[in-house]
A and B are shown apart, each in its own frame.
Chain A
């Protein structure tokens, strides 16, 4: 397909697969357009088009799709149920394709199914996507493999950078949140920006080697935690909790996995200050700023106290 332009919503799974997806299309020479960081208009459009009880992050996703509709030929919205056995995504995420299809019946969607329970592997999905764009299996597979290798490298680089940050002196907070919330301009960005501006290092629970995270979660909570992202975050929490001054839980209303595990974290961890922030479409940044300020006061005071005690 010559000259086709693929639109990719900057929301939800995009934050897990950014490098893989963009690399894949780049390798095939396909033009892509990624929607801009979330803004008020996108949020407004998404909220208007969604069921009110849906989670805020998925409302934002719908807003991004709407933004892309008249700017591309196809919306890239693969249906990803899991990335291995016992590595499930939440039902909002694997229902996305059908949600988008029913919300925008006129949209053309570029889709493939990833479901390891049905032996539909990621590589096969990319072959199918390539096929829909007029590429043969070998070309698509090569493009996928190359993009995957690059994505793995980027991931390893991020982990190494964070390890360096961890050994540095100075105050640190651990962000316990899904990547699509942490980095979204209308959800977590404001929070991480606040810490950057105040010279406090931000550590991310989900930046961790996946195998290591899985092992840690299994040791602490048993093998039953079948949510991929949550298992990764819980592993990161176990690994980093002793090295930080405080923990921030960021969640959107009403998140399924977070509703269980944020509560577990709040009940489990008693030795660190924890701030739990739930974000929804009621824009209340003044309230969040106040809470972040008082949280910062607490961790700075605690650090001072510790230093005083050491003298």
Chain B
């Protein structure tokens, strides 16, 4: 008897939902969510990782070890470029040496196209038809767009929900219930209906939003940006302290960003001429765009030793100097403590408030 295949994707914000829809519907595997990240995940991950590797390797490895303890034996990785594209070669080795018999599914190999994703799926499940794949893919696109749209709205307005006394922010609660309901969606059309329903619900949450709130942009490496546990719940802290968060990094933005590097270079105010790797160009063009729109400050986040974003920092420093926009650079690793992060955010926010005419962000 062959062992039952139980698939698991790493915790990347809330995107396990997407990976699980893809795997369960295209490959017919049972899917589980890896246990929510804790200090133990980080400890396990970094204990079995090389020191110099970038943080997402350690955290996703921690996810996989914990999922393997629960019986998962198929792991999903996106593939693609930078170091990420080759993580699984070493992760598989580590897991095998730890005694877990496992296989990896790499969604994209070298160049991320839909075609390659289909090929990767069909190689594992030869009975998968193009028609079925297209249907699932359309569903994925719909869910990703809805999810990211809802989350963008939430981030912008979370700080200003009128009913603050609830244990959970009403916008956050709506978003969470969307995530609960969406895996059952039959197809793209059904998903769109669910999306609309929650969109309307979210827009009807009463807000007390001042005319000119403090607006902070978040840019940087996609994994750390979208993964709240890995960035010490930075966005929640900002929202709790009355900040409108502008963040254009999400899975759907990422999927378009990697195909529009030329566009990003054009929108970077002449600071950069070429692709400098991963989403670093996106970070630069987003920063430049936010500054044109009069943002109060920008936070650039990245995992430790992320080389494309380190190159981007040299360029962002020039942009910051030339435009006078405050930037804060934050590097996250498995040892980053929440208190330290919040202290820095507090200092950054105080400084931004001082630059504004007294109290105008409250009116």
Bound CA–CA A203/B236 (angstroms): 54
> Are A254 and B305 in contact, with the CB atoms below 8 A?
yes
Does B229 reach chain A (CB closer than 8 Å)?
Answer: no
Interface residues in A53-68 by Cβ distance below 8 A to B read 53-55
- Does B311 have its Cβ within 8 Å of any Cβ on chain A? yes
Write out the residue numbers on chain A whose beta carbons fall within 8 Å of the beta carbon of B310: 51, 53-54, 92
B→A interface (CB under 8 Å): 49-54, 57, 81-83, 85-87, 89-90, 93-94, 97, 109-110, 271-278, 280, 304-305, 307-308, 310-311, 313-315, 317-318, 331
- Whole-angstrom CA separation of A32 from B221 in the bound complex: 39
A226→B275 contact, CB < 8 A: no
Q: Which of B54, B57, B83, B273 contacts A97 (CB 8 A)?
A: B273
A255 within 8 A of B: yes
Task: Give the complex CA separation of A51 and B317 in angstroms.
Answer: 10
A101 and B273 in contact (CB under 8 A), knowing A226-B85, A260-B86, A263-B50?
Answer: yes
Distance of A75 from chain B, by nearest CB (Å)? 15
Whole-angstrom distance between the Cβ of A2 and the nearest chain B Cβ: 28
User: Which of B49, B57, B275 has the largest count of A CB atoms less than 10 A from its CB?
Assistant: B275
Q: Does A209 contact B (CB under 8 A)?
A: no
With A263-B53, A267-B97 already in contact, the answer to whether A256 and B307 are too (CB < 8 A) is: yes
Asked whether A198 is an interface residue with its Cβ less than 8 Å from the other chain, the reply is no
A224 and B85 in contact, given A51-B313, A264-B93 (Cβ under 8 angstroms): yes
Q: Report yes or no: B50 in contact with A53, Cβ–Cβ below 8 A.
A: no
Interchain nearest-CB distance for B105 vs A (Å): 14
12 further contact pairs, Cβ within 8 A, besides A53-B305, A113-B274, A255-B52: A97-B273, A98-B273, A98-B274, A99-B311, A102-B272, A224-B109, A225-B86, A226-B110, A254-B52, A256-B54, A263-B50, A267-B93
Q: Which of A50, A91, A115, A267 gathers most chain B CB within 10 Å?
A: A91
Give Cα distance in the complex from A94 to B81, angstroms.
Answer: 14
B307/A94 in contact, CB under 8 A: no
| 24 A–B contacts from the bound complex (CB under 8 Å) | A53-B310, A81-B274, A91-B82, A91-B278, A95-B280, A95-B308, A101-B273, A102-B315, A102-B318, A113-B274, A225-B86, A226-B81, A226-B85, A253-B52, A256-B83, A259-B52, A259-B53, A260-B83, A260-B86, A260-B87, A263-B50, A264-B90, A264-B93, A278-B52
